[in-house]
Structure 1
Amino acid sequence: MESGFPEGAYTIAAAFDGAASLYYSSGGGLIGSGENANLRPESLKVVKMAEECLKHMKKVDAFPIVKPGSTTFYIVAADGVFGYTAKEDDLGEKRDKKLSDLFHQCHSLITQMRVADEKRQAEQGGGGQPATRPESK
């Protein structure tokens, strides 16, 4: 899932093995979060929900930068890459009946990734500043 804002974008990726990463267009992110036993189930739930949403997506061969206020979902399948773009507000307010639940599950995963990262930093003595993160809805 990619969401765009005037100042940039972020991408969250979840894989079939439970791996999850969050990338910021400004650089940095949270990589390898699926290794955390508490995050793996959240990531796998995203993958399962995405598989169920595939029927609402169209095959794509171009990957434009997501526009501010929009969210694009991509699923990499054996027979190609499928995509779906909607207004972030429609997804967040559940006006988009097709992928709103997936959008909210992705944000749940982002929240859990942030919590795990903050806990990890606290356990390591608070070294470093957390990266700027998207707001979870």
Structure 2
Amino acid sequence: MRVSTVSTALVAAASTVLGSEASLPTFAITEPTEDCRVVVDKPFHIKWTTPSNGSDKVTVSLAGGKTPQTLLSCGVIFSNINDVGHIQWDVKGHKPLDGSAWECPEVWDDLANNIFGIKIVTEADKAEHWSAHFNITHS
């Protein structure tokens, strides 16, 4: 009888542990949302769900172009930061890390006719995660 009770308790504990691992969130960028408007010279919060507890590292980049299929790399916004699920990007007409020009001047100089996307790369496995496309405006 005692063995049966211990076995039942172990099975229940194992199910709880396995069940909690299965319910971990997957990595997904939740902000920016599709067609949202990000304004130059204003802060914008980039948000994502992550299975990490913050100990993993990510690199966050900007891409832009005429269509989602033609996005060009514009440069890194943040590099090798803790994967905590959110950052504040102070949107400027230049890269935040070193103040140099964005690497996509043809896109950045024509904001009204281009769209943008955020790419987050998880450093541990180099997986790329993309946001929905969004717009950047001056006002």
The TM-score bracket by the shorter chain reads under 0.3
Larger fraction in strand: 2
Q: Work out which of the two has the higher radius of gyration on C-alpha atoms and give 1 or 2.
A: 2
* TM-score (ref. length: structure 1): 0.26
Larger fraction in helix: 1
